[in-house]
Structure 1
Amino acid sequence: MPPESRRIARVLLDSPLPQLDRLFDYALPAQWGEVPLGVRVQVPLRTAGRVIDGYVVDIDTEDDADRALSEVESVVSTVPVLPERLHTLARRVADRAAGSASDVLRLVIPKRQVRVEKAWTADTPAETPDAEALVVAEETVGLYEGLGEVLDAGGRAAVEAIPQLVDGVQGWARLLAASAARMLAAGRSSIIVVPDSRDLDRLLAAIESLVPAGAVVRHDSRQSNPDRYRGFLRTLEDAACIVVGNRSAVYSPVVAGLVAIWDDGDPLLGEPLAPYVNARDAALLRQELEGSALLFAGHTRTTDVERLVVLGWLQDVRAARRVLPRVVLSTPQEMEQPTAQRMPSSAFLAARTAAAEGPVLVQVSRPGFSPSLVCAECRAPARCAHCGGPLGAKHRGAVPVCAWCGRAASAWSCPSCSSTKLRLASSGSERTADELGRAFPGVRVIVADSAHPVERVSAAPALVVATRGAEPIADGGYRAVVLLDGPRMLQAPDLRVAESCLRWWSNAAALAAPGAPIHLVGVNGAAARALATWNQAGHARLELESRAPLHMPPTTRVALVQGSASAVAGALAALNDLALPADAVLGPVPVESDDIPPRVRALVRFEYGAGARVATALRAAVVAEAVSGRRRKGRATKSTLSIRLDILEPEL
C-alpha cells in the first residue's frame, strides 16, 4: 500500500435515527492487522459527541489520506456477526418498507455474550438424517404432488397441508419436518417459521424424530440470552442446519436451501416494531435474492398467497390423494328451534355420541365466563356509572364488575329504561364449560384458553372447551368437533374477518380423528361453504375479486402516514411527482390523542409496480423531517413522522 494511502472501513451504525441509515467512512489505524467484514466495532459519532456501536460492511483503500476521517475506536469482537448476505437482505427489506436496516438487524443479531463467544468454535461437523429417517421424509414429501420438484429446483409453492394426525403429530408438522430433513441430507440448511410457541414445540417434536439434535437451531423469544446467542453463532457456520423459530427467524444468516412459513395468515407473523415487516414479505424478498425453495403451508389460504398463485408466482401444491374432513353445517330450520340456543340438536347429539368414545372439541370465541352484560329489558350494553366501561361477570350469580376501573356495580340500573336486571350477552369458555357440564353429566370438562393453557389431552372421554388458537391435541384425534360462536366471530369489523374465521375453523377441524364429524354452528355463506367443501383457496380467490374494485389489500399496497399536520403534508407532497391516481390518498384525518402538536394520519394506496418509488419518497420525507428538527435545546429530538407500509387493515 503506498505511503499516502490508507485503509477505511465503511460502517453501518446501530442507530434508530433515520438520517444515520447509511454507511459511514472511518479510518482504520495503521497498526491494526486484518479486520474481518461483519464484525462489531465502536466508532465515534462527532455530531452527538459519543461512541456508537456499528458493523463493518466493507473495507477499502483510498489515496486521499488528507480527508478528515475519524478512526474506528475499537473492534468489539472478531466474530463476523453480519455476513454480506444478511446485510443485503436487511437493506432490501428496509428499502421496501421505507425503514432502517439497523432496525431489521436488531431483530436477528442478539446481544453479545462474551462467555458464549469464547466457548464457541466454528468447526461443528455436519449432521445428516439416518437412512430410516430419510425414507420417512421421502414418503411424506411424496404425499404432495410436485413438492419434491419444488424443493430440488428452488421453486416457490403454496402447499395445502393434509389435515390429519399421525402418531400424535400433525400433518403440517410432518410436512415441514420432512422437507427440512430432505434438504439437510443434501447438505443444505432450512428455515422454518411458525407463529407461536405452541406451533414451535409441535414442529420440534416432529423434527426430532427425523434429524440429529445437533442439526436443529431454535430461535425463540423464550430462550435465555446465552442460548439465543449460541444458536445464532451456530447459524454462522458452514455446516448445514435447520433453523426453527418465530417471525424474526426468517432473517437467520444461514445459506438457506429452503424457507418455509406455516400459517402465514396468523397476525403473530407481523412484526410490531419498525419497519413492521411481515415474515411472509421478508421470505419473498429472501427467496428473490438467494434463490432458495420457498413454501407457504397452511390448512387454509390467505388472499396474499392466493394473489401470488393467480399471478403464477407460486405453484399450487396439494396432496396427491385428498381425504377431506366431514363438515356438517347447521340448517336454518335447526337454528330457528327454541331449544337450539347455541348448539342445535344435530351438533348436540353428535357431541353426546362422540363423548362416550373419546374427547370432543368445542371451539368458542372468547375466554372467561361472560365477557359482557346487557340490560335484560332493552338489551342496551351495561356500563359502569363511574367510568363508562363495560360490565362483566366472572361466574354465574357474581356481582358485575367494570372491566376498566374494577369497581363493583352492585346497585346497577339501566340509564335507558331504569331496569335493574342484567342479562349475559355472550358466553366465554368458562361459562360454556359450565353449561356443557350440566348437559353432559359424568363427562369430564376441560377448559383450554389463555388463562388455562393445555397442550395435549388423552383419548379418554372428555369435553374440551377451547378458545380459537388454544385447542390442544388429542391422542388419536377428536371424535367430534363443534365450532360455536361463528356468527359472533364474523361480526368483527375487520377487512379479513372471513379469512381469519376460515383459518380458525380449518385449524380446529384438522385436529379431528379420521371420519369424525365437524359441526359449524349458525353460519352460512361463502366461508361456511368453503369449509364444508374444504376449498379455502377458492374462498381466497373470491375475496380477492371482491377487493379489487375497492383497491383494498392485497390487490394494492397501502401505506399509513402519521405525524403532525405539517409533517404528513410534507410526506404527501413528496408523492406528487409519482403520478399516482387521483384517489390514491385518503385523508388526512385527525388522530384521537393528547399529543402536542395534534397528530393526523393518511392512507396512500398504490400498485405494486410503484412500490419502490413510493417507499423511496416516503423514506426521504422521514429523513428530511428528522433532520429539520434534530436539534432543539441542544438535544436530539424524535421525528414526529412515521411510515408503515403494507398495513392489513386500512382504516382512517
Structure 2
Amino acid sequence: MCVDVPLPHLDRPFDYLVAGADDVAAQPGVRVKVRFAGQLVGGFLLERAEASEHQGKLAYLEKVVSPERVLDPEVARLARAVADRYAGSLNDVLRLAIPPRHARVESPPAKAKGDAPAEPAEPAEPAVQRAFQAPVPGGWDSYPTGPAYLKALEAGRPARAVWSALPGEDWSLRIAEAAAATVTGGRGVVIVVGDARDLDRVDRSLGAVLGPGRHVALNAALGPAERYRRFLAASRHQVPVVVGTRAAMWAPAAELGLVVIWDDGDDLHAEPRSPYPHARDVLLTRAQLADCAALVGGFARTGEGQLLLETGWAKEIVAERAVLRRRQPAISPTGDDPQLARDAGAVVARLPSLAWQTAKQALQAGLPVLVQVPRRGYLPSVACAECRTPARCPECSGPLALQNARDVPVCLWCGRSFPAYQCPACGERRLRASVIGAKRTAEELGRAFPGVPVRTSGRDEILDTVPGEAAIVVATPGAEPVAEGGFGAVLLLDTWALLSRADLRAAEETMRRWLNASALARPGSEGGRVIVVADGSLAPVQALLRWDPGWFAARELAERRELGFPPAARMASVTGPAPAVADLLTIADLPDGTEQLGPVPAGEEQERMLLRVSRSRAAELAHALHVAAGVRSARKAAVAVRIQVDPAELF
C-alpha cells in the first residue's frame, strides 16, 4: 500500500496484513488507515498478495475507510510513472489524482422497500452512431485525414494525432465527435481543457452529441462534494466520457480508448503543486501505458506537439491550403515598408492608421471589433531599443533583465552580467521594455471612436459571448469572447510586449495567443480582417499571415535543438537556500554530461540551479534527483529543496 507520508525516502509501498473481517472490503484502490511510526495515517491499498517478501513482523490494517475503489489500477500505474518522470513521490501524485472523500456522497440515496437497485443510464447509442456515421459537413471532413482518424477511434486502434484546427472551427464539437466515435467502439475518453469557459463549451457539445447521462464534467468550481460525486460516477464506470480542467488528466475511465488535450500550450495545463506535472505529458504517458489513442489539438502548435510528429509518435491532422484560404480572415501587418511609407508613425503607434481604418470599417458595417492587448504582470524583460530583438545572454542564451533603470543587464539563468551588452542584430546598446494594460487601451479607444460601446474582458470580468453588432471588445489573452457570426476585425496590439518577454517560449506563446484571437474573426470572404501591429518580416508574423502554425513550430523546435532547450533537451530546476542546493547537488549522482547553469537568485535568500541533459538521459536525471532528495530526507535535513523537471518557466 501507499502510505500518506510526505517524505521522499519513504516513497515505496509497504506491506500490511489484512484481518478476516476486512477481507471483502480491503480491495485494491480503497482508502485505508494504518499505523506508521506510531501514528495513524491514511493511504491507498495498491494490491493484495498471498505473501510478503518482508522478513520482519507485519502489522494489520487498522481500518478500511471506505470500500469505494477510488484508485483505478490504470491510474495507479500512471501515477507511479509520472512520479518517476518528475522526480516526485507516488504519494504527492495521488494527492493530485484523487479528490478528498465525502462520505455522504458515497452513500447511495435511500430507497423505498421493494425498489430495484439504481442502474447506470443506458448508452445513448443512436446519438453516438449518428455523430460518427454522419459527421457535420465542414467538420472532420475538412481535414484529409479527419474521417480516417474517426474510423480508427471507432475500431479501437491507438491512433495518435496532432490537430491544427481551422480558423473559426467549432473545436468543441469536433472533440465531441471524436469522443463519440471512441464510445461507439466501446471504450472510454478523457478530455482536458484549460479553463472553465472551454469546459462549458465541450460540456455542451458532448451533451448534444452523446445525449444525456453519457459524460461528466469535472471542475473545481463545482464545490468539493459535487466534484467528488462526479468523480465517483467516473470511477464506478457509470459514464464513458470525462471532461474537465487540469485535474481531469487523472480521471478514471473504463477501457480507456482516447485522451484529448486542447490548446496544450496554455500555461493553465501546468500543475503548480509538487511534482509539477504538465497535463500534456501526463496524458501522453497515459496513452503510452494504456496503448490508446491521443489527440493534441489547438489553433497553434507547441514545440512538444511538433516533436511528436517528427519522432513519428503521432500523425498530423491539418486542412489543405485551399480550405484554409476560404476559412481564414484577411491578415495584415502594420510594420512592413509600404505601410510605413504611408504612415511614418505606425512604427511606434499603438493604433496605426491601418488598424484604425480597419476597426472603423467594421464598426460602420455593424460588426464587433476585438482588440487584444497583453496581460499585465509579466516578469521584467528587455529588448533592443532600435530593432526590438529580445536581449539574450551571449554565454548561455538565457534572457537578460534589468532590475532598475541604472542597472546593467543580468542573465536570469547563469547570473552573468553584461555592462557592455550590444545587440547582435543591429549593434545598438540601448534596451527597452513596455506593457500597456486593457483598461488604458479601452479609454484610448473610447476617445478614438466616440459613441461606440467599449467593453473589457479580463481578470475582473470575462465575457463568454458578445452580440454580432457594432462594439469594441478589449480583451487580454485567453479572455477573448466569441462573437455571434465572428468579429469583423481583430486588432493585435503591443506585440513587442509579448515577443520580448523573458521567456523561452515567448515567440511560441505569442503565436498561440495571436492565432486563438484571430480564429474568432469572420472569414476574409465575409469581411473578416486581422491587423497585427508588428513588422511583417518577423517569423511569428509570417506564420500568422500564412496561418501556418506547423512551419513555425518546426522552426522553433529546430532553434531549440541548436541551443539545447526543451523539448529537444530536458532541464530540471533545483531551488532553495544556497547551502541546501549545494548539498543536494553534492549528493546527487548526476548522469554523465549533465550541464549546470547558475546559480541565480530566486527570491529572498533563495537561489536556483538549472540542470540540462539530453532526452535520452532524462530518466536518469529525474532518478538521481529523487534519490538525492530521499537521502536528505532520511538525514532529516532542516530545509527542503524544490525540484522541478521541465519547469514551465525556466527563470
Match of 1:90 in 2: 79
CA contact (8 A) 1:367 1:450 kept: no
Contact persistence 1:163–1:171 (CA under 8 A)? no
Using the TM superposition, give the Cα deviation of residue 353 of structure 1 relative to its aligned residue in structure 2, in angstroms.
1.0
AA aligned to 2:8 is P
Matches within 5 A, 1:62-81: 62=51, 67-81=56-70
Structure 1: distance between partners of 2:503 and 2:457: 25
CA RMSD across the alignment: 2.6
1:612 equivalenced with 2:619 (yes/no): yes
Work out the CA distance in 1 between the residues paired with 2:471 and 2:68.
Answer: 54
SS at match of 1:468: coil
Give the structure 1 partner of residue 102 of structure 2.
Answer: 113
Cα distance change on mapping 1:601 and 1:464 into 2, 3 Å:
closer
Q: State the match for 1:211 in structure 2.
A: 210
1:348 has 2:356 as partner = yes
Q: Once the two structures are superposed, what CA deviation does each residue of 1:38-72 show, in whole Å capped at 9, x if it has no partner?
A: 111100112xx210001111122238999422211
2:415 aligned partner: none
- Contact persistence 2:330–2:530 (CA under 8 A): yes
Counterpart Cα distance in 2 of 1:44 and 1:291? 38
Corresponding position of 1:300: 300
User: SS at the partner of 1:158?
Assistant: strand
Matches for 1:511-590 after TM superposition, within 5 Å: 511-515=520-524, 516-524=528-536, 525-576=538-589, 578-580=591-593, 584-589=595-600
Deviations 1:478-529 (A, max 9, x none): 0111111112221211111111111111000100112111111133310000
Residue equivalent to 2:36: 45
Instruction: Identify the residue that residue 3 of structure 1 maps to in structure 2.
Output: none
Counterpart of 1:404 in structure 2 is none
Measured in 2, the distance between the counterparts of 1:435 and 1:573 equals 56
Q: CA deviation at 1:364?
A: 1.3
Partner of 1:446: 455
Specify the structure having the higher radius of gyration (Cα).
1
Structure 1 residue identity aligned to 2:332: V
Q: Is the 8 A contact 1:138 1:182 kept in 2?
A: no
Of 11, 17, 23 in structure 2, the residue corresponding to residue 21 of structure 1 is 11
Q: CA–CA distance in 2 between the matches of 1:481 and 1:184?
A: 38
1:566 and 1:470 map into 2 onto residues whose CA distance is: 43
Letter in 1 for 2:556: E
1:246-265 equivalence runs, <5 A: 246-255=245-254, 256-265=256-265
2:424 is aligned to: none
Alpha-carbon contact 1:306-1:537 (below 8 Å) kept: yes
The Cα offsets for residues 584-639 of structure 1, whole Å up to 9 and x where unpaired, read as: 12234454424xxxx44311111121122211111110010011016xxxxxx6x5
Q: For residues 64 and 77 of structure 1, what CA distance do their matches in structure 2 show?
A: 27
Change (3 A) 1:555 1:216: same
Are the equivalent residues in 1 in contact too, given 2:27–2:47 (CA < 8 A)?
no
Confirm or deny: 8 A CA contact 1:489 1:497 kept in the other structure: yes
What's 1:310 paired with? 310
AA in 1 matched with 2:64: V
Correspondences of 1:154-233 after superposition (within 5 Å):
154-164=158-168, 170-233=169-232
* Cα displacement (A) at 1:208: 2.3
Deviation at 1:198, TM superposition (A): 1.4
Displacement of 1:115 after TM fit?
A: 1.4
Q: Is the 8 A contact 1:193 1:244 kept in 2?
A: yes
1:126·1:239 contact (CA, 8 Å) conserved in 2?
A: no
The correspondence for 2:339, drawn from 334, 339, 353, is: 334
Deviates more, 1:133-142 or 1:321-330: 133-142
CA distance in 2, matches of 1:65, 1:621: 25
* 2:50 match: secondary structure: strand
Distance in 2 (alpha carbons) for counterparts of 1:509 and 1:553: 27
Q: Which of 55, 65, 80 is 2:44 aligned to?
A: 55
**Amino acid in the other structure paired with 1:145:** P
Residue 191 to residue 171, structure 1, CA distance change in 2 (3 Å): same
CA distance in 2, matches of 1:645, 1:84: 25
User: Structure 2 vs 1, CA of residues 173 and 51 (structure 1 numbering), >3 Å: closer, same or farther?
Assistant: same
**Worse-superposed segment, 123-132 or 358-367:** 123-132
Alpha-carbon contact 2:328-2:519 (below 8 Å) kept:
no
Matches of 2:53 and 2:494 in 1, distance apart? Answer: 72
* Contact 2:261/2:280 (8 A) holds in 1: yes
Give 1:568 deviation, angstroms.
3.0
Distance 2:223 2:440 in 1: 38
Change (3 A) 1:507 1:589: closer
Which of 443, 447, 464 in structure 2 is aligned with 1:455? 464
Partners of 2:285 and 2:532 in 1: CA distance: 38
Shift in Å, 1:573: 3.8
Alpha-carbon distance in structure 2 between the residues aligned to 1:185 and 1:138:
17
One-letter code of the match for 1:60? A
**Cross-structure match for 1:400:** none
Q: How does 1:247-286 map to 2 (within 5 A)?
A: 247-255=246-254, 256-286=256-286
- Partner amino acid, structure 1, of 2:454: V
Question: Which residue type is aligned with residue 593 of structure 1?
Answer: E
Distance in 2 (CA, whole Å) between partners of 1:112 and 1:577 is 40
| Distance of aligned partners of 1:40 and 1:332 in 2 relative to their CA distance in 1, 3 Å threshold | same
- Higher percent of residues as strand: 1
Instruction: Classify the secondary structure of the residue corresponding to 1:610.
Output: helix
Post-superposition shift, 1:184? Answer: 2.0
> Aligned partners of 2:55 and 2:586: how far apart in 1?
41
**Number of residue pairs aligned between Structure 1 and Structure 2:** 570
Whether contact under 8 Å (1:218, 1:244) holds in the other structure is: yes
Shift of 1:352: 0.8
**C-alpha deviation, 1:33, in angstroms:** 3.2
Cα shift at 1:577: 6.3
Structure 1 residue runs without a partner (length 5+): 1-10, 165-169, 372-387, 391-423, 631-636
| 1:319 Cα deviation from its structure 2 partner | 2.4
The one of the two structures with greater contact order (alpha-carbon pairs below 8 A, sep at least 6) is 2
> Any conservation in 2 of the 1:359–1:460 contact (CA below 8 Å)?
yes
- Alpha-carbon distance, 1:180 to partner: 0.9
Q: How far apart in 1 are the matches of 2:580 and 2:345?
A: 59
Deviation of 1:18 (Å):
1.5
Contact 1:128/1:184 (CA < 8 Å) preserved in 2?
no
Change (3 A) 1:155 1:19: same
Q: Report the CA distance shift for 1:280/1:241 in structure 2 as closer, same or farther (over 3 A).
A: same
* Pair 1:467-2:467 in alignment: no
1:521 and 1:477, CA in 2 relative to 1: closer, same or farther beyond 3 A?
same
- Corresponding residue to 1:624 among 623, 627, 631: 631
| Inter-partner Cα distance in structure 2 for 1:244 and 1:221 | 12
Separation in structure 2 between the aligned mates of residue 466 and residue 134 of structure 1, nearest angstrom: 36
The TM-score normalised by the length of structure 1 is: 0.82
Distance 1:648 1:116, change over 3 A: closer
**8 Å Cα contact 2:22-2:64 kept in structure 1:** no
Asked if 2 retains the 8 angstrom alpha-carbon contact of 1:303 and 1:541, the reply is yes
- Aligned-partner Cα distance in 2 for 1:277–1:295: 19
1:585 partner letter: Q
Q: Structure 1 residue 247: deviation in Å?
A: 1.2
**Cα distance change, pair 589–501 in 1 and its aligned pair in 2 (3 A):** closer
